[in-house]
Structure 1
Amino acid sequence: MGSWVKLPATESVELLAEAGMDLVVIDLEHSPLSIQTASTLATVALGRGIVPFVRVPDHAPSWISRCLDFGARAVVVPHVDTVDQALIARNAAQFEPRGRRGMGPTTRAGSWNLRGPQQYIDGAREVAVVVQIESAEGLAALPEMLARDAVDGVLLGAADLSMSLGVAMDDPSVSQHMLEVLSRCMDSGVPCALATGANASLVAAAAEQGYSMVVAGNDASLLGAAARAVVQGSRAT
């Protein structure tokens, strides 16, 4: 279980760690965070013993390799609609001959090359590329992605998927598509993750369904919801 991080504050990561989250997903797609700030947030996560994921803003291999170099344990790639896009993302995270990632051991991921490059090379086997399936095209391409071992994990969210399908988020067809993706992933031994609101019942239900990871809310919304509850509760009283 984790949460998106959108605020440029190390305290967000510290507070989520103190709350007992297992991971954070530092969001470079839907936030003003810079890559330098994302690097700092990842460092805090590592120091606090929780896993730093980073959602990159697009499919560019340079984003993926740079985030892995500064210590991200996984990258989340948005809007993956084709097998080729999934393969490009996967290859950007792995060195030759498994991929096309450039060597840069003088980085945090390589302990600044103070122990030699082998640790850096071996570390690539432990990182993950999680693709977001959030379109009708992505749904259609997923079976081949799984068959070709093109993804390490899949993340689902109802918002973009429903817009692509032309229906409301609460339309039953959205839930049905998501459950079909979950089933395919489970059959293939590929972890499937779900993005939800910050609601304990939703998180528990997702875990019972078989999702391996749930990203519940984000730091900004959690802060806003807590503040609003105080304001509304006190005024109502």
Structure 2
Amino acid sequence: MSNMLTSNRLKQVLSQGNRPAMGFWQMLPGANLSRVLARAGADWVMVDCEHGNIDDAAMHEAVPAIAALGVSPIVRLPDLHPWMVKRALDTGAHGILVPLIRTVDEVKAVVAAAKFPPEGQRGFGSPFVLQNFGPGLTMTDYLQQANGSLLTMVQIETQEALDLVEEIAPLVDVVFVGPFDLGNNIDHPIINGKMDPELDQAIGRILKATVAAGKKCGIYCSSGEEARDPQFSQTSNSRSVGRGQTETAMAQKCVHQGCGKIFADTDEICRYHPGPPIFHEGQKGWRCCKPRVLTFEEFMAIEPCTEGKHSTTDLPPKVEKAEADPTLLAAANLPPPPPRAPITAPQHIPTPPPPTPDSEDDDESVEIPDGRVCRRKGCGVTYKKGPSREGEKCVHHPGAPIFHEGSKGYTCCKRRVLEFDQFMKIEGCKTKDRHLFVGSGKKDATGKGPDAGGEELLETVRYDYYQTQTAVIASFFLKKIDKEAAKVEFQERELALDLPTTDAPRTKRYKAQVPLYGSIDPAKSSFKILGTKLEVSLGKADGSSWPVLRSDDRLTGEILQIGRAGRA
């Protein structure tokens, strides 16, 4: 059976009697505001339906939001009607506060409305109460435990109630002082924060009656400074009245990160986080310790990693530095490493001039293949033999395609789209009188144009490599290599490549003798042909490091590290 009493934080603090129970007043609606107040280190939050802008619906939202964070939601009623008591407790509130009490009979009516039979007359049946008292609570549990677990509190703020306070105090759990209305009712109002001696004496009488009845007493304060004012010392002490005794130390809130407790004993152990919070790539934690979590609730629940004393300052106490490790000190006294040879700066090689741009018009001496597509971007017109080319209009994009942050378009015009299909349909922004199907028809070293048949010999291809302690892995980038016709021969200091492609209508071939920087073991070497490259694994003969792949490459002076670095 779940225990409601352990879920009522305010009642637990009052029962222990070793510190004041501190809380906040909520006068504006909103569950998020309720959660902010509950997270601020409170034992309770007063949902004020008397003077606050909180109606019945807002009350039903605020109460579970506060209780979900382990803080006691208390509802101050607009008036002392019994049906209001029932509505407040049916939200799952941990207690009620009834204002403007005047007679003993009114107090008895409040108590009767707050208790189930046989102690009172409260009706049973709210479906909202179970969520506010921990897991496992059943309706039967609530019915059996509510009378002893919920707090009934009344405000003494009228002359009539002050005159009867000795009779009222034994009937309720907490007697709460409303100093402003009480001062007004006894004709000694609080002016500019100053309290008349008569009002101070009246508050003292309420405190004395509460202590005599063995009950708890509280008072409303409008600021932290006011709570520490000597005029409020009696009632400040009365918050922690327990077993007929008063606590003489003024409670304060610890500001250490991860603590936030209300403390009166300055020697009490404080557990906190000395480091700042860290929120990085969705993970949350503290710099001072290792746990990392994903949700804010888990972050707030990370156990503090440091012990010290509570503090009311903004800065946590300094963490004592650990003594230096003697072995580290010895390592620091080691002689410096020998100087490394200077690295020769590579010589500047001038950038070759860009190739002459292809003609913007078709060479009339070059035959245009049937079905050739216009080479200008965004045009897409297909050539058909026969009809005259007079009257052609080529609508195209002279600029380059641009893809940036999800948008797509051309540099020559302003239109941007999101989908690639839409990008392909962007209408050209420039118009020429003729399409461009073959251009100038430049011929290569074999005397053949780009559309001629036969084979194109490539003088060079791009390559890259990396190495391990036992092998050099090199990649020669060439698309559509013919796996059946390709030849790779490994020699001790040379790599022979014959790589034809399957490109159409004209194939390509890369044929080369690659001089290697170091010696290899042909038996331990291998290759594989992929869709865009040839990858060869060259087994090293001596395990030495290769600063370059080819022996005819210029050395850059770089030092390559192989394997695992040693330790001092």
Tell me the TM-score normalised to structure 1 length: 0.82
Structure 2 residue 141 is the aligned partner of structure 1 residue 141:
no
Question: Per-residue deviation at 1:32?
Answer: 2.3
Alignment of 1:103-122 (within 5 A): 103-104=124-125, 106-110=126-130, 116-121=138-143, 122=145
Work out whether residues 196 and 203 of structure 1, in 8 Å CA contact, stay in contact via their aligned partners in 2: no
Structure 2 residue 210 is the aligned partner of structure 1 residue 189:
no
Question: Per-residue deviation at 1:200?
Answer: 4.4
3-state SS in 2 of match to 1:4: strand
Counterpart in the other structure of 1:45: 66
Work out whether residues 157 and 196 of structure 1, in 8 Å CA contact, stay in contact via their aligned partners in 2: no
Question: Per-residue deviation at 1:56?
Answer: 0.4
In structure 2, relative to structure 1, the CA distance for the partners of 1:172 and 1:86 (3 Å cut) is same
More helix by share: 1
Work out whether residues 24 and 53 of structure 1, in 8 Å CA contact, stay in contact via their aligned partners in 2: yes
Amino acid corresponding to residue 93 of structure 2 in structure 1: A
Amino acid corresponding to residue 91 of structure 2 in structure 1: F
Counterpart in the other structure of 2:173: 152
- The CA distance in 1 between the partners of 2:92 and 2:112, in whole Å, is 18
Identity over the aligned pairs, expressed in percent? 29
In the TM superposition, what whole-angstrom CA distance separates every residue of 1:116-163 from its partner, at most 9, and x where no partner exists? 5311212232111100000110011111123xx321111102110111
Amino acid corresponding to residue 224 of structure 2 in structure 1: N
Specify which structure has the bigger relative contact order, considering alpha-carbon pairs within 8 angstroms and separated by 6 or more residues: 1
Work out whether residues 109 and 123 of structure 1, in 8 Å CA contact, stay in contact via their aligned partners in 2: no
Work out whether residues 79 and 99 of structure 2, in 8 Å CA contact, stay in contact via their aligned partners in 1: yes
In the TM superposition, what whole-angstrom CA distance separates every residue of 1:202-234 from its partner, at most 9, and x where no partner exists? 158467522249xxxxxxxxxxxxxxxxxxxxx
In the TM superposition, what whole-angstrom CA distance separates every residue of 1:170-217 from its partner, at most 9, and x where no partner exists? 21111111011111101211100110112246158467522249xxxx
Correspondence for 1:199 among 204, 218, 224: 224
In structure 2, relative to structure 1, the CA distance for the partners of 1:65 and 1:197 (3 Å cut) is same
Amino acid corresponding to residue 143 of structure 1 in structure 2: E
Work out whether residues 194 and 206 of structure 1, in 8 Å CA contact, stay in contact via their aligned partners in 2: no
Question: Per-residue deviation at 1:12?
Answer: 2.0
Alignment of 1:211-230 (within 5 A): 211-212=239-240
Structure 2 residue 62 is the aligned partner of structure 1 residue 34:
no
More strand by share: 2
Counterpart in the other structure of 2:27: 6
Work out whether residues 30 and 61 of structure 2, in 8 Å CA contact, stay in contact via their aligned partners in 1: no
- The CA distance in 1 between the partners of 2:159 and 2:67, in whole Å, is 36
Question: Per-residue deviation at 1:15?
Answer: 1.7
Question: Per-residue deviation at 1:47?
Answer: 0.8
- The CA distance in 1 between the partners of 2:139 and 2:35, in whole Å, is 30
- The CA distance in 1 between the partners of 2:236 and 2:168, in whole Å, is 25
3-state SS in 1 of match to 2:220: strand
Work out whether residues 111 and 172 of structure 2, in 8 Å CA contact, stay in contact via their aligned partners in 1: yes
Correspondence for 1:210 among 238, 241, 245: 238
Root mean square deviation, CA, Å: 2.1
In structure 2, relative to structure 1, the CA distance for the partners of 1:206 and 1:42 (3 Å cut) is farther
- The CA distance in 1 between the partners of 2:63 and 2:23, in whole Å, is 14
Structure 2 residue 154 is the aligned partner of structure 1 residue 125:
no
3-state SS in 2 of match to 1:25: strand
Question: Per-residue deviation at 1:30?
Answer: 0.3
Work out whether residues 134 and 160 of structure 1, in 8 Å CA contact, stay in contact via their aligned partners in 2: yes
Tell me the TM-score normalised to structure 2 length: 0.35
3-state SS in 1 of match to 2:68: helix
Aligned residues: 209
Amino acid corresponding to residue 108 of structure 1 in structure 2: F
Amino acid corresponding to residue 142 of structure 2 in structure 1: Y
Unaligned runs of 5+ in 2: 1-21, 242-568
In structure 2, relative to structure 1, the CA distance for the partners of 1:181 and 1:87 (3 Å cut) is same
In structure 2, relative to structure 1, the CA distance for the partners of 1:116 and 1:87 (3 Å cut) is same
- The CA distance in 2 between the partners of 1:79 and 1:127, in whole Å, is 21
Counterpart in the other structure of 1:64: 85
- The CA distance in 1 between the partners of 2:187 and 2:227, in whole Å, is 24
Amino acid corresponding to residue 119 of structure 1 in structure 2: D
3-state SS in 2 of match to 1:176: helix
- The CA distance in 2 between the partners of 1:209 and 1:125, in whole Å, is 25
In the TM superposition, what whole-angstrom CA distance separates every residue of 1:62-99 from its partner, at most 9, and x where no partner exists? 11111111111010000011100000000111111100
